[in-house]
């Protein structure tokens, strides 16, 4: 049975490899390839901060627990991760070098001192002395000068120093303090730059005057960010203040990775490992820069060359909604579906603003997970509260790396008179749910929005998501029950229409798969179609294996982690899985069970991961409107047919581009073309 499963962490590394492939893919415009290179690195940073950090904590436990699919211990997983990351690191370095060679042809070059003449070197020395050296904070380490705290992902120039008396010391200089530009322009031929950390490293003899430098390198530390906010809960603080303290604590957690840029002696690596208190096995060498964020600055310098970027795409208005008229009456007349980024989020924002000013609206209830820095959603909720509406908002303060943003918005909402709660004990609230309640006389009506993505205007232009807005009163009444449970600190234990984790999603999905199994056993056509970001839930995986073995046809679009191997003879050979990694981040979740008159369809916030299905509050809604159901089904079919950006998952766990046959089908481009055509018509 082991051939049926893939380790979660190794599957994630395969996903990030697909991101790296996009950086290498010459079909993508050159500057967009730079973006994918940067995304590859930031993805890997977060992987070490969260997943490797978690495994590191598990390894310290006495029993070194095994994961439930491939039965690898935490230490075995860490060993496999290290090996795979080193392989991908070599490929990343080579890909970066090739990219920069192509960028050089466009008139921009990142230079080293070997590329400079004497006059240019003298200029840089003068520049360093005048503009950088006074802003540096160097440290030498001794008994009286302990090792300084190095911030997460901070680049430092390090050196082994030797005194005139022959004693060795360690010197370290933080390089990215924000007081000078990272790209230092070289005078003369325009378009040549040096990275500031390389400049600092070169002139370390000026920083540590009086010492002989025997070895030097740039290093970057990645710290564990996996911290359980509930386990360290301080009852003396209110929850919002507690989360602020958790953020501070995270910044000080132990290192889990160290990267360095020079080929230095193994003894020196051992010394560095000791200073940083990190396992030497978690130290990685790279020839590429330690932080790729400067690539966006290069893109900005080439912005005038349009052919180096994707063709401009603008989210279009939905043909289903007339924004010149009140929106709520249109929704009451017929359910509406918005598809981001192909269609604009504006109608949803306008509906919220309309509700804030509608005399018949008595309340607005929402769950908020990730918000834009300048949130129009919050603006509308504040306006509603100031207009006397009851506004109940659940702000999830445990949205990883968005905690500070959410803490700020929670204060804004509270100050405006909104009722703000912060989630449930031990459970994140990840649902995308909004309920507008209207009352006219004795008549109470609901308008409900359920989505697959966050209420974030920025990501609505970058992520593919679906947003259903419905006046179906049965769904509205059930949404009202969800909000009541949340306000009481409870979870839904029974639902009739929606799927609501943690008690009413995994079990209902399994029941629906069982139905398809029975239909296949009875000689009928069993069918399951799923689009999610990740598949790790073993109960659901095992049920899908059972369904495939029974003859149920299963089609899946899974962008990221997939712990199931399709195509294994007699077991999973009825399962086809593709991953689409392209211009936009695939983020929508669709579940389809059955075909024809039996078809049941849902969209929602949950991936098929245990953390989503049983450890979070998630909401998926049925699609009852036949026109919307047909539209979503067609979208799913096009994605399964993609032969440009889709990779098919093979039985050995590797991915291969779908064989390109004419006509070319790039699902994301097709959806944008359809959005433009719909407006023209």
Q: Which of 154-158, 163-167, 573-577 bottoms out in mean pLDDT, i.e. has the lowest?
A: 163-167
Q: What percentage of residues in the chain have a pLDDT greater than 90?
A: 77
Nearest-angstrom CA–CA distance, 114 and 133: 22
Average pLDDT, stretch 663-672?
Answer: 96
Quote the pLDDT of residue 249: 54
| CB atoms near residue 572 (< 10 Å) | 23
- DSSP-derived secondary structure letter, 459: G
| CB atoms near residue 248 (< 10 Å) | 8
Confidence of residue 356 (pLDDT cuts 50, 70, 90): very high
Region label for 178, one of left (φ > 0), alpha (ψ between -120 and 50) or beta (otherwise):
left
| 461, two tokens | 């232009």
Residue 250 has pLDDT above 50, yes or no: no
Q: Which of 253-262, 473-482, 526-535 bottoms out in mean pLDDT, i.e. has the lowest?
A: 253-262
Quote the pLDDT of residue 144: 64
Residues annotated as catalytic are 430
Nearest-angstrom CA–CA distance, 304 and 1: 55
Region label for 388, one of left (φ > 0), alpha (ψ between -120 and 50) or beta (otherwise):
left
Q: Which of 165-174, 249-258, 454-463 bottoms out in mean pLDDT, i.e. has the lowest?
A: 249-258
For the chain, helix, strand, coil in percent to 5 are: 40, 25, 35
| CB atoms near residue 456 (< 10 Å) | 22
Confidence of residue 633 (pLDDT cuts 50, 70, 90): very high
3-state secondary structure 9-78: HHHHHHHHHHHHHHHHCCCCCHHHHHHHHHHHHHHHHHHHHHHHHHHHHHHCCCCCCECCCCCCEHHHHH
Say if pTM beats, i.e. exceeds, 0.85.
Answer: yes
Average pLDDT, stretch 387-395?
Answer: 94
Quote the pLDDT of residue 396: 86
Quote the pLDDT of residue 234: 42
The partner residues of 361 in beta bridges, in order of sequence, read 438
Quote the pLDDT of residue 170: 86
Strands 553-558 and 575-580: parallel
- DSSP-derived secondary structure letter, 324: T
| CB atoms near residue 372 (< 10 Å) | 17
Region label for 596, one of left (φ > 0), alpha (ψ between -120 and 50) or beta (otherwise):
left
Quote the pLDDT of residue 660: 77
Quote the pLDDT of residue 372: 87
Segment (H or E) for 403 = helix 403-415
Q: Which of 176-180, 470-474, 489-493, 576-580 bottoms out in mean pLDDT, i.e. has the lowest?
A: 176-180
Q: What is the pLDDT of residues 93-131, one digit of tens each?
A: 999 999 999 999 999 999 999 999 999 999 999 999 999
Q: Which of 113-127, 215-229, 313-327, 459-473 bottoms out in mean pLDDT, i.e. has the lowest?
A: 215-229
Residue 229 has pLDDT above 50, yes or no: no
Confidence of residue 56 (pLDDT cuts 50, 70, 90): confident
Residue 30 CB-half CA count within 13 A: 19
Long-range contacts of 319-322 (CB under 8 A, 24+ apart): 319/678, 319/679, 319/681, 321/347
Residue 228 has pLDDT above 70, yes or no: no
Quote the pLDDT of residue 555: 98
Residue 668 has pLDDT above 90, yes or no: yes
Question: What DSSP string runs through 502-544?
Answer: TTBSHHHHHHHHHHHHHHHHTTS--EEEEEES-B--HHHHHHH
User: Which has more pLDDT, 128 or 145?
Assistant: 128
Average pLDDT, stretch 654-663?
Answer: 88
Nearest-angstrom CA–CA distance, 178 and 255: 22
Quote the pLDDT of residue 269: 76
3-state secondary structure 358-395: CCCEEEEEEEECCCCCCCHHHHHHHHHHHCCCEEEEEE
User: Which has more pLDDT, 278 or 514?
Assistant: 514
Segment (H or E) for 462 = none
595-to-506, 516, 524 alpha-carbon distances in Å: 21, 10, 11
User: Which has more pLDDT, 268 or 561?
Assistant: 561
- Residue 547 in 3-state DSSP? helix
In this structure, is the dihedral angle defined by the CA atoms of residues 272, 261, 95 and 194, taken in order, positive or negative?
A: positive
Quote the pLDDT of residue 236: 45
Mean pLDDT, rounded, of the chain: 92
Quote the pLDDT of residue 143: 63
Q: What is the pLDDT of residues 290-324, one digit of tens each?
A: 999 999 999 999 999 999 999 999 999 999 999 99
- E strand intervals along 380-462: 390-395, 419-421, 428-429, 433-440, 443-451
| CB atoms near residue 238 (< 10 Å) | 11
The partner residues of 558 in beta bridges, in order of sequence, read 532
Confidence of residue 271 (pLDDT cuts 50, 70, 90): confident
Quote the pLDDT of residue 227: 59
Nearest-angstrom CA–CA distance, 197 and 154: 11
Q: What percentage of residues in the chain have a pLDDT greater than 70?
A: 94
| CB atoms near residue 134 (< 10 Å) | 8
Strands 428-429 and 616-622: parallel
Average pLDDT, stretch 203-224?
Answer: 92
Is the peptide bond prior to 305 cis by the omega test (within 30 degrees of 0)?
Answer: no
Q: What is the pLDDT of residues 591-622, one digit of tens each?
A: 999 999 999 999 999 999 999 999 999 999 99
Average pLDDT, stretch 63-67?
Answer: 79
Residue 576 has pLDDT above 70, yes or no: yes
Residue 231 has pLDDT above 50, yes or no: no
């Amino acid at each position: 049975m082991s051939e049926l499963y893939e380790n979660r962490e190794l599957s994630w590394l395969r996903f990030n490899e697909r991101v790296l492939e996009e950086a290498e893919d010459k079909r993508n415009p050159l500057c967009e390839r730079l973006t994918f290179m940067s995304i590859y690195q930031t993805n890997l940073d977060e992987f070490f901060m969260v997943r490797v950090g978690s495994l590191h904590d598990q390894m310290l436990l006495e029993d070194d627990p095994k994961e439930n699919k491939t039965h690898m211990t935490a230490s075995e997983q860490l060993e496999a991760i290290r090996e795979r990351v080193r392989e991908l690191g070599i490929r990343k370095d080579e890909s970066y070098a090739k990219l920069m060679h192509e960028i050089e042809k466009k008139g921009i070059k990142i230079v080293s001192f070997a590329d400079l003449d004497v006059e240019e070197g003298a200029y840089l020395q003068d520049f360093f002395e005048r503009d950088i050296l006074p802003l540096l904070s160097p440290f030498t380490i001794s008994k009286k000068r302990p090792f300084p705290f190095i911030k997460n992902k901070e680049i430092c120039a390090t050196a082994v120093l030797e005194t005139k008396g022959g004693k060795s010391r360690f010197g370290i200089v933080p390089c990215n303090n924000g007081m000078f530009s990272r790209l230092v322009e070289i005078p003369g031929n325009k378009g040549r730059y040096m990275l500031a950390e390389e400049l600092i490293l070169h002139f370390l003899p000026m920083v540590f005057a009086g010492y002989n430098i025997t070895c030097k390198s740039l290093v970057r530390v990645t710290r564990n960010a996996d911290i359980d906010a509930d386990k360290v809960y301080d009852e003396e603080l209110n929850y919002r203040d507690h989360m602020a303290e958790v953020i501070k604590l995270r910044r000080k957690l132990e290192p889990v990775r160290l990267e360095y840029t020079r080929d230095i002696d193994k003894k020196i690596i051992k010394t560095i490992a000791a200073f940083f208190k990190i396992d030497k096995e978690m130290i990685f060498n790279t020839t590429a820069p330690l932080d790729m964020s400067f690539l966006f600055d290069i893109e900005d310098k080439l912005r005038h060359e349009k052919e180096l970027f994707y063709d401009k795409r603008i989210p279009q208005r939905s043909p289903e909604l007339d924004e010149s008229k009140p929106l709520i009456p249109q929704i009451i007349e017929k359910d509406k579906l918005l598809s981001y980024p192909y269609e604009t989020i504006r109608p949803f924002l306008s509906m919220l603003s309309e509700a804030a000013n509608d005399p018949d609206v008595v309340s607005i209830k929402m769950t908020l997970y990730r918000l834009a820095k300048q949130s129009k959603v919050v603006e509308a909720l504040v306006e509603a509260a100031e207009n006397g509406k009851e506004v109940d908002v659940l702000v999830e303060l445990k949205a990883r790396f968005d905690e500070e943003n959410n803490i700020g918005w929670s204060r804004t909402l509270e100050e405006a008179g909104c009722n703000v709660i912060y989630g449930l004990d031990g459970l994140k609230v990840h649902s995308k749910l909004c309920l507008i309640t209207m009352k006219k006389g004795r008549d109470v009506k609901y308008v409900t929005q359920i989505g697959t993505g966050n209420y974030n205007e920025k990501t609505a232009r970058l992520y593919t998501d679906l947003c259903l807005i419905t006046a179906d009163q049965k769904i509205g009444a059930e949404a009202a029950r969800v909000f009541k449970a949340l306000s009481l600190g409870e979870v839904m234990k029974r639902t009739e229409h929606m799927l609501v984790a943690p008690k009413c999603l995994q079990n209902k999905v399994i029941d629906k798969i069982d139905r398809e199994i029975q239909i296949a056993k009875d000689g009928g056509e069993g069918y399951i179609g799923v689009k999610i970001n990740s598949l790790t839930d073993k109960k659901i995986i095992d049920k899908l294996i059972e369904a495939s073995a029974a003859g149920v046809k299963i089609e899946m679009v899974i962008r990221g982690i997939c712990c199931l191997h399709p195509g294994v003879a007699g077991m999973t050979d009825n399962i086809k899985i593709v991953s689409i990694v392209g211009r936009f981040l695939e983020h929508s979740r669709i579940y389809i069970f059955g075909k024809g008159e039996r078809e049941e369809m849902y969209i929602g916030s949950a991936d098929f991961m245990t953390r989503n299905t049983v450890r979070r509050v998630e909401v998926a809604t049925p699609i009852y409107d036949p026109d919307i159901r047909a539209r979503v089904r067609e979208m799913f079919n096009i994605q399964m047919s993609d032969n440009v950006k889709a990779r098919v998952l093979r039985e050995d766990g590797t991915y291969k581009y779908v064989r390109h046959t004419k006509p070319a089908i790039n699902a994301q481009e097709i959806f944008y073309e359809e959005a433009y055509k719909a407006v023209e018509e």
